[in-house]
Amino acid sequence: MRRPLLLNGPAGAGKSEVARLVAARTGARFVELNEGGGEGPGAHPTQSDRSQTAASVRLEALLDDGEPVVVSLGADSLLSRGRRLRALDSAVVVALRAPVGELLQRRRGLLPGVELDPGVLESELELRAGAYAEAHATVDTGAGTVEEAADQVAEIWRRNAVAVAAAGRSYAVEIGNGVAPRRIQQLLGAASKIVLVSDENVFGLHGGSMERALGGCGTGVCRIVLPPGEEHKSLASLERILVQALGAGADRSSVVVGFGGGVVTDVAGFAAATWMRGVRWVAVPTTLLAMVDASVGGKTAVDLLTAKNAVGAFWQPDAVVCDVAYLRTEPPRGYRSALAEVVKTALIGDPDLLELVETSAEAAAQGDLAVAEEMVRRSIRVKARVVSQDEREGGLRACLNLGHTLGHALESQGGYTQLSHGEAVSLGLVLALRLGERLGVTPAAITSRVTRLLARLGLPTETTPAALLDAAKLIGHDKKRSGSGLRFVLVENVGAVCTRRMELSELEAQVRVLAAG
């Protein structure tokens, strides 16, 4: 499904020209919102406040409407971060860039006789660099022809990726079926060395096609295949990756590729964060959990003894490629467990996703790849929206913890062997909904609707009172606890959650009531 395409960037970067070409090639309607005839600030101040407001209103209407139009934006159209995030969520945004000399030359051509100061232009670009970087992709119009730039832009539009906005560290998450090897080859063509991290299961099944694709990059590949399992998300694995990277002559421009489940993407990302104080990395998640959760958001880590994710860093990937074809071989229990995170995500921010899972629950549970692709795309979109607003977990990101406070307690009560993480989250979700009902926040109809859905997906929805009472005692160990309380995430409606600070003693008392039925 196509979304509108917005071309962003400074005056003189070629937005109108490229947009017209892309529109002509794809048969889409072309819309000019760049009222000054291709000009922006620093060139000439012709764009009045009134015309800027009119352009903003038109942009809002285009985003609401969703028709796949090609829009040439004004240089300032997306300077407000709120509007930019809205555009990134509802459209595909491509930033055009050209060297300063080129921009000056083009602006002089458009404004004969007007004196343009390169210093002013440079500072204008510097000020706006972070805003322009928040895009699905950036295309250089300085080097090749307009036709070549239009080809690239059309291809980016076709990919319909999800953007994660993090200023200069922004990136796109691409989702498709059978797309990974070719796409990785395109993405890594210019790397000096590729450090490929995988695990034995994934590499045994899918390593051949990935290595053939990487081989086609013409750069050296240093391959580290870890034994599978959470116990290998360790400092020992990190050291092994770094030592092998050193031995292989990896340098600052090397790129780490994490090719596997959440264990591999977490440790590979952390290796990238620490190698030479940080190099680029690309995530190729191969489990549903890694696609919808672990590979998006830039949290990387290893475990330390029994402390999960105790040592880590926020380090955004350069790109994420989610190829649902890998899900065909994922062990069914892990796949099904991750569906609990999909339901969680729908409750946080996407009523349509909940409906999709409801109408296709059996197909979703059985691993239908078309359904999986849509679930992955929509889940990532919600997570990207949250992460873009709160990269470092200042507040909003806490809502992603829905179902996890009691879920973690149950997971830990079962010694991390009885319940998978997702199964525990399924139970935690039902409990959070029931608790929300008790507190007068959650409508009862949502609890029964979600409970029914989780059961249809083959996930547990009931635990024994004894297990719950035991788990209640473990709530105090929650990592997200602060002082004697924590922020508990409650569901107000499908797509609307809120947090409420609760004392541990109060929460434990509530859980005891829930255990009593």
Ligand X SMILES: NC(=O)c1ccc[n+]([C@@H]2O[C@H](COP(=O)([O-])OP(=O)(O)OC[C@H]3O[C@@H](n4cnc5c(N)ncnc54)[C@H](O)[C@@H]3O)[C@@H](O)[C@H]2O)c1
- Contact status: 209 vs ligand X (CB under 6 A): no
Instruction: In angstroms, give the least distance from the CB of 435 to ligand X.
Output: 23
Strand partners, 488: 500
Pick the closer one to ligand X by CB: 90 or 237: 237
Quick one: which of 414, 410, 421 has its CA closest to 335?
421
Indicate whether 31 belongs to the interface with ligand X (CB under 6 A): no
Q: Distance (Å, rounded) from C-alpha 231 to C-alpha 274?
A: 20
Note whether 315 binds ligand X by CB under 6 A: no
In the bound complex, what is the minimum distance in angstroms from residue 137's beta carbon to ligand X? Answer: 23
Question: Can residue 331 be called a binding residue for ligand X (CB under 6 A)?
Answer: yes
* Residue 398 found at the interface with ligand X (CB under 6 A): no
Which range, of 119-127, 179-187, 189-197, 257-265, touches ligand X by CB under 6 A? 257-265
Question: Whose CA is closest to 179, among 153, 161, 194, 191?
Answer: 161
- Distance (Å, whole) CA 86 – CA 412: 39
For the range 209-218, what are the long-range contacts, defined as Cβ-Cβ under 8 Å and sequence gap of 24 or more?
209/181, 210/180, 210/181, 210/184, 210/259, 210/284, 212/181, 213/180, 213/181, 213/182, 213/184, 213/185, 214/184, 214/185, 214/188, 214/257, 216/185, 217/185, 217/188, 217/189, 217/191, 218/189
233 binds ligand X per the rule CB under 6 A: yes
Return the residue of 39, 89, 134, 199 that touches ligand X, per CB under 6 A.
199
Which CB sits closer to ligand X, 107 or 183? 183
Residue in 69, 290, 342, 356 binding ligand X, rule: CB under 6 A: 290
Question: Is 507 one of the binding residues for ligand X (CB under 6 A)?
Answer: no
5-8 and 92-97 beta bridge pairing: parallel
In angstroms, what is the minimal distance from the CB of 258 to ligand X? 10
Q: Is 463 in the site for ligand X (CB under 6 A)?
A: no
**4, 262, 349, 403: residue in contact with ligand X (rule CB under 6 A):** 262
Query: What is the longest distance spanned by two Cα atoms in the chain?
Result: 83
Nearer to ligand X, 42 or 297 (CB): 297
Determine the Cα angle at 456 with ends 423 and 435, to 5°. Answer: 55
Task: Please give the positions annotated as active site.
Answer: 277, 299, 341, 383, 393, 397, 401, 404, 408, 421
On whether the CB atoms of residues 33 and 78 are closer than 8 A, the answer is no
C-alpha to C-alpha distance for 151 and 161, rounded to whole angstroms: 17
Whose Cβ is closer to ligand X: residue 297's or residue 436's?
Answer: 297
Query: What residues contact residue 220 under an 8 Å CB cut-off, 6+ apart?
Result: 193, 194, 248, 249
Question: Among residues 9, 181, 258, 334, which is the contact residue for ligand X, using CB under 6 A?
Answer: 334
Decide: is 266 part of the binding site for ligand X (CB under 6 A): yes
Selected binder of ligand X within 299, 377, 378, 381 (CB under 6 A): 299
* Site residues (vs ligand X, CB under 6 A): 199, 201-202, 205, 228-230, 233, 260-264, 266, 286-287, 289-290, 293-294, 297, 299, 309, 326, 329-331, 334
